[in-house]
A and B are shown apart, each in its own frame.
Chain A
């Protein structure tokens, strides 16, 4: 089940400067676990204690995973997973 993962600039040092990587997994969590095996250090930048960091947004195609099944959100062949640092102010 390969999906395309878009990597934000801030994480590219971990992915050898690749903007997009192909990763296999049936859920967002599986993809992140697989990425961690290929690119050590990625996982702690994205999740802690089983949840995505508040300041990281993960989108499957265009949908924020927090509004579907979170890290368990299932993935289909050809889906894209986009990682975007959150924006905030105040």
Chain B
């Protein structure tokens, strides 16, 4: 059960409250309206179960409890550098146009409540869990911060500096906007050869294409989009089928909402739980230190972003995470930039884990994993659909060895069954899932672009959702001594992110946070940029007073006048003035290295060979 005044949340926290209500009702939790308890958070609720004492969950705007400055979704996107990462490919710092950090914050807050309850059941005196929108923001761009602050050749990738006009996605002759995807150079080479592009240009395109995941840019040679725009979408699909390239049109939410599995996914929530019917598992072990998952063992066999981030979050909660890598280690360890001999970006997600090199292709390697699983609490993988069965490491295989095991799958699509992969050859990557789910179109509409973000929107949210599902399954295990299978995916993360859009499409009851802001703009100043958001007339009036002028809202001339006014002082000066006036605002972080000296964000970071993002939770 959760108790709190979530339905009456302040406008700037309404999206967090709405997502919390959606997530907890999808979990079948009772929601009881109550007073905000007296925490320091901007939004508070109590998380309680029949087996645990209430956990007070505080959700703050900023990381420092003493910092009370007004904040909104878009202000935090500006302050944490997310606007800048999104803007690397769109041409300017701008918000994603979705309630991204609010959704992340809600998921982290709920997970914090569940984790503290696990701590109680394992002997820890925990009654409070705290998280903040700022810590969710830093978590979302943690890998990019690592890249920008690595000791060896750090990246400086500023919005709008990508030196090519060509941007993803592609557009066909008949106007279909679509994404292409392949994880291998072979299909890419064959595809562009059939489209009539020279091997040299295709090669340069491949290099640019690969930059998307790590750097959020894709400076493709102009020849590629130009050549493909002479083909109809039908012909492009045929070339894709022949060459092994995957293609997916950028669909709208209402297209996705008409898919047969869509409504079911919305109703179910972002996780699929399969609880063991027979509680034959081990009782809970005591916590090893002050963190709620300390003393628990997680075995992780994941690559890239989503799965490793889930493992990282469990490690931040105290779990011992053993990461299985192929013999010789994960090649992404060598991905520049480097800090102390390891890819900073890789280390950001894996620094707290113990590494075990195991060859999954050998029977000895698989036997070793089965032996490890016997004594583990969680097994997490993100293999391609069907692979777990082939390896004899499926849920059935491993729960037979350890009935208490929480078996987790963090995939691309909503299932890990091999049937799916035969029906759909699309690799379950972030940009394909953004296009298919409607998220890309929603971001495009808000950003004035044609496609989604090159920031890994769904990998990060999917990682949080996976860790949250595992934590909830562990809580169930502590209470009922039964293991579980938890499935989550980029697609389920997409549904969570756009939960209100689907709710509106299906005309289902529930809370809605949508309220368009009166002012939501990034202004250039004498030095730097400042993001300003006024969600209501009262705030707009306070802004007007602060600007020492009388303005009406929405008139073009006034906008121009405001543009000029903001040029009179620096972004730092404006931030101070507007904070005094109670107007949500923040200096827009464009170079992520500047976060290290940003007063509001610094408390969430730790310096070192690259700048590390701290745990989003604190417990007491």
Question: Which A residues fall within an 8 A CB radius of B?
Answer: 8-11, 45, 53-57, 59, 62-64, 66-68, 84-90
Given contacts A66-B203, A67-B199, contact A90 B334 (CB under 8 A): no
A90 and B203 contact, Cβ closer than 8 Å, known pairs A9-B341, A54-B184: no
Residues of A within 8 A of B214 (CB): 87-89
Give the top 9 A-B pairs by smallest Cβ distance, nearest first: A89-B213, A67-B203, A10-B334, A85-B334, A90-B429, A55-B331, A87-B214, A64-B203, A9-B338
Residues of B within 8 A of A66 (CB): 185-186, 189, 203, 206
Complex CA gap A19/B139 in Å reads: 33
* Contacts A62-B204, A84-B336 given; does A89 touch B459 at CB 8 Å: yes
Q: List 18 A-B contacts (CB under 8 A).
A: A8-B336, A9-B334, A9-B336, A9-B341, A55-B331, A56-B331, A57-B207, A64-B206, A64-B207, A66-B189, A66-B203, A66-B206, A67-B189, A67-B203, A85-B336, A87-B214, A90-B213, A90-B430
Residues of chain A within 8 A of B428, CB atoms compared: 90
Is B37 engaged at the interface, CB distance under 8 Å to the other chain? no
Q: How far is the CA of A10 from the CA of B186 in the complex (A)?
A: 25
Q: How large is the interface on B (under 10, 10 to 19, 20 to 34, 35 or more residues)?
A: 35 or more
Given A54-B184, A63-B203, answer yes or no on A89-B304 (Cβ-Cβ < 8 Å).
yes
Beyond known contacts A64-B204, A67-B200: 12 more, CB 8 A cutoff = A8-B334, A9-B336, A10-B341, A45-B328, A64-B203, A68-B200, A85-B343, A86-B331, A89-B214, A90-B213, A90-B305, A90-B428
Query: In the complex, what residues of B have CB within 8 A of residue A56's CB?
Result: 331
B:167-206 near A, CB below 8 Å: 183-186, 189, 199-200, 202-204, 206
For B412, the chain A residues whose CB sits under 8 A away are: 90
Q: Which residues of B contact A (CB under 8 A)?
A: 152, 183-186, 189, 199-200, 202-204, 206-207, 210-215, 303-306, 328, 331-336, 338, 341, 343, 412, 427-430, 456, 459
Shortest distance from the beta carbon of A28 to any chain B beta carbon, whole Å: 14
What is the distance, in angstroms, from B347's C-beta to the closest C-beta of chain A?
13
* A82: min CB distance to chain B, Å: 11
Complex CA–CA separation, A55 to B304 (angstroms): 12
B326 to A: closest C-beta gap in Å: 10
For B199, B212, B334, B429, the residue with the greatest tally of chain A CB atoms inside 10 Å of its CB is B334
Known contacts A10-B333, A67-B189: does B200 contact A89 (CB below 8 Å)? Answer: no
| Chain A proximity of B212: nearest CB distance (Å) | 7
Number of A-B residue pairs having CB atoms within 8 Å of each other in the complex: 90
Q: Which residues of A contact B200 (CB under 8 A)?
A: 63, 67-68
Chain B: CB-nearest residue to A12: B341
Task: Give, as a whole number of angstroms, the nearest-CB distance from B126 to chain A.
Answer: 35
Q: Given that A62-B204, A85-B332 are contacting pairs, would A90 and B338 also be in contact in the complex, using a CB cutoff of 8 Å?
A: no
Q: Within the complex, which residue of A53, A67, A85, A89 is in contact with B430, where a contact is CB–CB below 8 Å?
A: A89
Tell me whether B199 and A68 are in contact (CB under 8 A): yes
Instruction: With CB as the reference atom, state the residue of chain B lying closest to A11.
Output: B334
Chain A residues near B334 (CB-CB < 8 A): 8-11, 85
A90 touches B211 (CB 8 A): no
Query: Knowing A9-B336, A55-B331, A64-B207 touch, does A88 contact B183 (C-beta < 8 A)?
Result: yes
Q: What is the bound-complex CA distance between A25 and B333, given in angstroms?
A: 29
**Given the complex of chains A and B, what is the CA–CA distance between A54 and B186 in angstroms?**
10
CA distance A66 to B429 in the complex (A): 23
* Complex Cα gap A64–B214 (Å): 18
Q: Which residues does chain A contribute within 8 Å of B204, judged by CB atoms?
A: 62-64
B210 cross-chain contacts in A, Cβ below 8 A: 57, 86-88
Q: Once the chains bind, are B336 and A89 in contact (CB under 8 Å)?
A: no
Give complex CA distance A11, B331 in Å.
11
Residue in chain A with minimal CB distance to B203:
A67
Closest residue of A by beta carbon distance from B307:
A90
Complex-state Cα separation, A85 to B343, whole angstroms: 10
- Chain A residue contacts of B212, Cβ below 8 A: 89
**Which chain B residues lie closer than 8 Å to A84 at the CB level?**
336
Q: How far is the CB of A78 from chain B (nearest CB, A)?
A: 19
**In the complex, are the beta carbons of B338 and A10 less than 8 A apart?**
yes
**A67/B429 contact (C-beta < 8 A), A56-B331, A89-B304 known:** no
Q: Which residues of the partner chain B approach A86 to less than 8 Å between Cβ atoms? A: 210, 331, 335
> CA–CA, A70 to B516, complex, Å?
54
Select which of A9, A45, A62, A89 is within 8 A of B429 by beta carbon. Answer: A89
Contacts of B306 in A (CB 8 A): 90
Most B C-beta atoms less than 10 A away, residue of A57, A62, A64, A89: A89
Q: A67 to B203, alpha carbons, bound, how many Å?
A: 5
Bound together, the chains give a CA A81 to CA B72 distance in angstroms of: 49
A10 to B338, CA, bound (A): 8
User: In the assembly, what is the distance between CA of A23 and CA of B429, in Å?
Assistant: 39
Question: Does the CB pair B427–A90 fall under 8 Å?
Answer: yes
Rounded to whole angstroms, the CA-CA distance of A64 and B428 in the bound complex is 26
In the assembly, what is the distance between CA of A40 and CA of B212, in Å? 34
- Picked from A59, A64, A87, the residue with its CB within 8 Å of the CB of B185 is A64
Chain A: minimal CB distance from B610 (Å): 13
Cβ–Cβ contact B304 & A67, under 8 A: no
A67 adjacent to B202 (CB under 8 Å): yes
Q: Which residues of B contact A63 (CB under 8 A)?
A: 200, 203-204
Instruction: Give A71 Cβ to nearest chain B Cβ, in Å.
Output: 13
Q: Which residues of B contact A8 (CB under 8 A)?
A: 334, 336
Chain A residues with CB under 8 Å of B341's CB are 9-10
A89 to B186, CA, bound (A): 18
Docked Cα-Cα span, A55 to B331, in Å, equals 7
Which chain B residue has the least Cβ–Cβ distance from A59?
Answer: B207
Report the separation of the CA atoms of residues A68 and B198 in the bound assembly, to the nearest whole angstrom: 10
CA separation between A56 and B207, bound complex, in Å? 12
Question: Which residue of the partner chain, among A68, A85, A89, contacts B331 with CB atoms under 8 Å?
Answer: A85
**B217: shortest Cβ distance to chain A, in Å?**
11
Q: How far is the CA of A11 from the CA of B306 in the complex (A)?
A: 27
B183: chain A residues at CB < 8 Å are: 88, 90
Which residues on the A side are within 8 Å of B199 (C-beta)? 67-68
Nearest chain A residue, comparing its CB with the CB of B193: A67
CB distance from B216 to the nearest CB of A (A): 10
